[in-house]
Amino acid sequence: MFSFALVSFGYSLFLAFTTICYGLVRMGFRGKEIFFAFFPAALLYIGSIATALSFTGQLTNSAFLIAQGVLVICIFADITFHNIHVSLSHITRILQLIRQRFVFPRSGIVTACLTMTLALVLISFLLRIVTPINEYDDKMYRASTPLYWIQSQSVFRFESVNERNNVFAQGASLIYLWPNLFNTGEQAANIFYWLALPLSLLGIYLFTGLFTKQPKIRAVTMLLLASTPIIIRYFTFTLVQESWLGLLVLCFLYFLITEIRLPRIQPHISFAAGIALGALFFIKPTALIYLAVPLVVLTVEKNKAARIIWLAAGIIFFTVFSGHGLLIYQNIVLYGNAFGTEAFQQLHMPYPSFKQAVTHLVRFPFALLEFPVFFPQIAAALESWLQHIAVFFGATTELYEETQKVWLGVYRYQLTTPNTRFGLGGFLWLALFLMHTMQLFRLRNTSNDHKREYGIYTILLIAVLVQIVQIRWAELSGTPYRHLLSYFVAVTAFFPLYLTKIYRHIGKPVATLFVIVLLAATGQLIFINIGHLKNTWGGSPEAYAKAKFLMQTSPYSEFMATQQGPTSLLLVGVENTLDYPLFANHLRIRNLVYRMHNAHGLPDNVFFSKLDEFVRTNKVEYVVLYNQPEELIRLMEAHKGYILRHTIQAADDVTFSVFLNAAFRKH
C-alpha cells in the first residue's frame, strides 16, 4: 500500500512536471527562466486543481490524477511532432544548463565550498528523514490543516477556533497537502516539503549569475546560505512557510531584474514577475510588503505603464486561477477581514507605540550581530560586552507586552557557540547594510553598472525594517527571527554585488581568511548536526521507534499508545490546541479527527447536547476535551453514553480528558 502510494505520487509529479514545463516553453521561456518560472507555476497548478475539485467536494487522489490527465490531453491536442521535439529540446537544455553552471574550474575554495554545502544538505536530508513532525506550530496548524482538507475533500475555509487554519494555511499548506493526498505517509511528505532547501541553494547559485561569473564568489554565497544555523534548523525540522517563500522571492527578483535590464518590454517576463509575486502572497499574507519593490522600481523605467499592466495581470491571473482570491473572500465572510478577526490580528502584532518601533529597530542589528566564536569562554566574554552595548542603546528596553506573564521570553542579547541565529551570514548582512547605507549618498554621482539592482536592494532593506516594526518580538517563539528567513535568502542573493568589489579591495589573503572562517563555522555546524543525527538515530531500532512515537504523538502519547487501529475522534479545544498528533496511528496518518468549540458561549449543558448529537451522527469513537470547563467534564462523566478513559496533565497549563463513546465499548 505504501509503495503504491509513492508510485502514484511519483506519477502525479511526472504529470505536473511535463505539463508545467511544456506550458512555460510555449510561453517563450528559455534556459534559467524556466527554472525560476517553474515554482510559481507549480503553485498555480496545484492551487487551480485543488480549488476546482473542492467545488464538488472531490479532492481525492484519483480525482486529482484525472484532472492532471485532462491537462495532459490538452497538451497532446496542442502539439505536433515538431513541437514535441522543440519542447523536449528546451527541457533538455535546462538540465544541460544546470550541469554547465556547476562545472567549476579547478579551485580549492570552490571545491571546499561545494563539498561543505553538499555535506550540509545530506545531513539535513537525513535529519528530516528521522525526525517526525514535532514543532509546536506544525502540530497546531501547519501539518494538521492539509489533513482536514483531505478529510473534507475540500480546501475551502471552515469554522475553526484556530484562525491559523484559514488565515495562515494557504499556499505552503498545498505543498504539504500534495503528497499526503496520495497517502505517502508523514516521512515522504516531510521530505517533499524539505526540498525547498536544496532548491533554494540551487536557485541562489543560478541567481547570482546575474551579478558575477566568478565561481568562487557564487560558491561562497551558496555556502553562506547553507551554513546559516537558523536556515538549517527551520528548513530541516519544521514546515515553516518561509522556506518556500524564500525560493519564490528568488523567482520574483530574478524576473524583476531581468525585466529592468531589457531594452524593451517583453510581456512574458513582466507577466512571470506578476505570477511570482502572486505566489508570494499565496504563501504568506505578510509577503504583501514585497509589492513595494516593483511599484517603486518600475515607475522609473521606460514603458512603465505597460510593464506595470503586465505585472498586475500576472498577479490577478494567479490570484484568480490559483483559488487564492476565493479563499480570501471566504475569510472575509468568516471573519470580516482577510487577515482574521481583530483579536487574531492583534495577537500577532506588537503594541503600537513610538517606543516599541524604536526598540525593535535598535534590536535588529543585534539580531544579526552573531559571528563564529569557537570557544565558550570567548563567547561568554563577548556576549557580556555586547549585552552592555545593547543596554546602552536601549535594545533591552522592556516593552508593554514583555511585562505580561504569558509573554514568551524577555529580550537579551545572546552569543552562543555554535551560533544559533544567522551566524557569519548575518554578520555580513549587517556589515553590507551599513556599507550600502553609506554608498546610497554616492550613487547619484557614480556611473555604477548596477544602480537599479542597488535600488532593488535598498527597497528590500527598507521592507525588512518595516517588517521588524510590525512583528511582535517574543524570544521563545522565535519571532521575529524566523520571519526574516525569506529576506535573508533575498539579501544573500545580492551579496555578490558587494563581494566582487570587496574582493578587489581587500586582496586575496583577507578573502582567503574569510573563507577559512566560513569553512570552520560550517564544519562546526556539520559536527553539531551529526551529533543530533546520532542522538536521534544512533540507538537501537526499538529505542528510535519509541522516541519517534513520543515526538509525533505528544502530548497525547499515553492515550495514543492504547490504540491498535484507526479510530475517529472529536477534539473540543481552544485556539492553540495541538491537533496533528491525533491523526497518527502507529506512525501513519489514519485517524479521522473532527473539531468543535463553543464559539457562541453557550451554557455547558446546551453545548454538551450539541456535542452529543455530533458524536452520534458521525459515529465518533472518542471525545477529547482539551482545556475545557470542569462543568462540561462533569456532564460527560455523568452521562451513561461516555466512559472516561484518560485524564492527563500534559503541562502546567494543559489538561485534557479522553472519553470513549459507550457504543464502541469493547466486550
Which 8-state DSSP code applies to residue 370? -
pLDDT band at 500 (very low <50, low <70, confident <90, very high): confident
Whether the pLDDT of residue 494 is over 70: the answer is yes
pLDDT band at 476 (very low <50, low <70, confident <90, very high): confident
Q: What is the pLDDT of residue 89?
A: 58
Q: What is the pLDDT of residue 620?
A: 93
Whether the pLDDT of residue 70 is over 90: the answer is yes
Q: How do residues 569-579 score in pLDDT, each as one tens digit?
A: 999 988 888 99
Query: Who's near 33: CB < 8 A, 6+ residues apart?
Result: 24, 255, 258, 269, 272
Q: What is the pLDDT of residue 82?
A: 52
Whether the pLDDT of residue 401 is over 90: the answer is no
Nearest to 29 by CA among 84, 76, 85, 94: 94
**Of 47-51, 225-229, 435-439, 555-559, which range is least confident?**
435-439
String of DSSP letters for 346-367: HHTSPPP-HHHHHHHHHHHHHH
CA distances 490 to 70, 249, 269, 522, Å, are 37, 7, 19, 21
Q: How do residues 127-145 score in pLDDT, each as one tens digit?
A: 999 999 999 999 999 999 9
String of DSSP letters for 624-646: EEES--HHHHHHHHHSTTEEEEE
Cell of 260: 529592468
Nearest to 203 by CA among 521, 519, 526, 492: 492
Query: Who's near 282: CB < 8 A, 6+ residues apart?
Result: 43, 47, 170, 171, 318, 319, 322, 324
Query: Does residue 338 sit in helix, strand or coil?
Result: coil
Q: What is the pLDDT of residue 402?
A: 79
Q: What is the mean pLDDT of residues 100-111?
A: 68
pLDDT band at 218 (very low <50, low <70, confident <90, very high): very high
Q: Is there a contact between 623 and 611 (Cβ–Cβ < 8 Å)?
A: yes
Average pLDDT, the chain: 87
- Which of 106-115, 193-202, 206-215 is predicted most confidently? 193-202
- Which of 92-96, 102-106, 350-354 is predicted most confidently? 350-354
Whether the pLDDT of residue 405 is over 80: the answer is no
Nearest to 260 by CA among 294, 291, 213, 309: 294
Q: What is the pLDDT of residue 667?
A: 42
pTM higher than 0.75: yes
**Of 77-86, 113-122, 228-237, 650-659, which range is least confident?**
77-86
Cell of 186: 508523514
CA distances 304 to 259, 299, 453, 487, Å, are 11, 6, 17, 26
pLDDT band at 47 (very low <50, low <70, confident <90, very high): very high
Whether the pLDDT of residue 195 is over 90: the answer is yes
CA distances 42 to 91, 275, 485, 566, 597, Å, are 16, 11, 22, 33, 36
Give the residue, 500 or 621, on which the prediction is more confident.
621
Q: What is the pLDDT of residue 103?
A: 56
pLDDT band at 179 (very low <50, low <70, confident <90, very high): very high
Give the residue, 88 or 581, on which the prediction is more confident.
581
Q: What is the pLDDT of residue 437?
A: 79
Q: How do residues 410-466 score in pLDDT, each as one tens digit?
A: 888 999 888 899 999 999 898 888 887 777 766 554 445 677 888 888 888 888 898
Q: What is the pLDDT of residue 522?
A: 92
Query: Who's near 305: CB < 8 A, 6+ residues apart?
Result: none
Q: What is the pLDDT of residue 587?
A: 60
In percent, the amount of the chain with pLDDT more than 70 equals 91
Q: How do residues 531-550 score in pLDDT, each as one tens digit?
A: 888 887 767 788 888 888 88
**What is d(CA 620, CA 304) in angstroms, rounded to the nearest whole number?**
59
Give the residue, 512 or 623, on which the prediction is more confident.
623
SS3 content of the chain, % helix, strand, coil (to 5): 70, 5, 25
**Burial, 414: exposed, middle or buried (Cβ in 10 Å; 0-12, 13-18, 19+)?**
middle
**What is d(CA 364, CA 471) in angstroms, rounded to the nearest whole number?**
12
Q: What is the pLDDT of residue 470?
A: 87
Q: What is the pLDDT of residue 368?
A: 92
String of DSSP letters for 426-447: HHHHHHHHHHHHHHHTTGGGS-
Whether the pLDDT of residue 121 is over 90: the answer is yes
